[in-house]
Amino acid sequence: DFADLLSAVAAVDKNIRIRFTTSHPHDISDKLLYTIAEHKNICKYIHLPVQSGSDRILELMNRSYKIKHYLSIIEKARTIMPGVSFSTDIISGFPSETYEDHIATLNVMQEVRYDGAFMFKYSPREGTKAFKMKDDVSDEVKSKRLQEIIDLQQKISHEINQSLIGTEQIVLVEGFSKKSNDFFSGRTDGNKVVIFPVHSSVNNGDYVLTKIHRATSATLFGDFKRIISNLGDDYSVLAS
């Protein structure tokens, strides 16, 4: 199964970071969670699309899970892997979505506290169950609800990232920052972008230890501490 495949891939080279994306809640088994926890080079990051916080809307979407089950997966993952990061997908204005359905989505966001989210307005897509439904939520309402979702997620992301100031994070260097060749950009185990000053001994693909001194809702800013030569020995978030 997928957990066995993930374990086998992680064992090929323990110095290569493994991340998988876009999970359906039904694909997250206890075995998979323990597999992620047991391998230091599998990222402690799970993308778990919720789409809506309303069971009624989820049924219309043909998502085949309820919010109670979804939240139980989040709780179990955090018990097995304290500090695991979550991102999600959220759709605003699905056909027949009411204000109460929208509030249910905001409530789930507040309960889970996602590190990040991909957030969209609903638009009909051919071949889906919803394509035959009446698109009865006005674009104005969709936009208003989407903005409320975005505002809440930015607030949560900012609070989470602020809590990381003063911590040391292992970063996989991806290249220069988009804004300046004086800075490198990379990602943490939890898929957070970290910007730090260029250092002569650092190359793309290196793992480096950084100390975080500033944060926005989208980005962490840190200082270079040292290169990590063996991921197995050093792979953790270190307290300041």
Q: What is the pLDDT of residues 59-77, one digit of tens each?
A: 999 999 999 999 999 999 9
User: Does the pTM of the predicted model rise above 0.85?
Assistant: yes
For the domain made up of 168-234, the CATH class stated in words is: mainly beta
| Residue 67 near residue 53, CB atoms below 8 Å | yes
Predicted confidence at residue 233, as pLDDT, reads 59
Per domain, the residue ranges of the chain are 2-162, 168-234
Report how far residue 94's alpha carbon sits from residue 192's, in angstroms, rounded to the nearest whole number.
29
Read off the pLDDT of residues 72-107 as tens digits, 9 standing for 90 and up.
999 999 999 999 999 999 999 999 999 999 999 999
Q: What is the dihedral of CA 32, 109, 67, 128, to 10 degrees?
A: -90
Report how far residue 213's alpha carbon sits from residue 92's, in angstroms, rounded to the nearest whole number.
35
**Which amino acid type is present at position 238?**
L
Instruction: Give bridge partners of residue 209 from the DSSP assignment.
Output: 170, 226
Q: What percent of the chain has pLDDT over 90?
A: 86
**Which amino acid type is present at position 194?**
V
Predicted confidence at residue 127, as pLDDT, reads 79
Q: Which CATH superfamily is domain 2-162 in?
A: tm_1862 like domain (3.80.30.20)
**In the Cβ-directed half-sphere of 100, how many Cα atoms lie within 13 Å?**
4
